[in-house]
């Protein structure tokens, strides 16, 4: 069963995504991902990109180990 967009109310058989930066008030930022309605482009969900976060952690550990 497919859901409906809360704005345009069209049935969602797929969604689009974009990759905005997500920033906290203190200024730190992460790569994010937003899931969007393909018809009206309303943002349906946002989160920190787990793949980019993993890469950031690995690079931070490598830097700390001097590699």
Q: What is the pLDDT of residues 13-22, one digit of tens each?
A: 999 999 999 9
Judged against a pLDDT cut of 90, whether residue 46 lies above it is answered with yes
Judged against a pLDDT cut of 90, whether residue 28 lies above it is answered with no
What integer pLDDT is reported at residue 2 of this predicted model?
83
What integer pLDDT is reported at residue 21 of this predicted model?
93
* CA 25/CA 62 separation, integer angstroms: 28
25 vs 1, 13, 21, 22, 29, CA distance in Å?
38, 35, 13, 10, 9
């Amino acid at each position: 069963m497919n859901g409906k967009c809360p704005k345009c109310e069209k049935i969602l058989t797929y969604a689009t995504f974009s990759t905005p930066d997500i920033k906290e008030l203190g200024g730190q930022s992460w790569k994010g991902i937003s899931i969007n309605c393909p018809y009206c482009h309303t943002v349906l969900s946002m989160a920190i990109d787990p793949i980019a976060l993993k890469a950031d952690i690995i690079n931070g550990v490598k830097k700390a180990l001097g590699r």
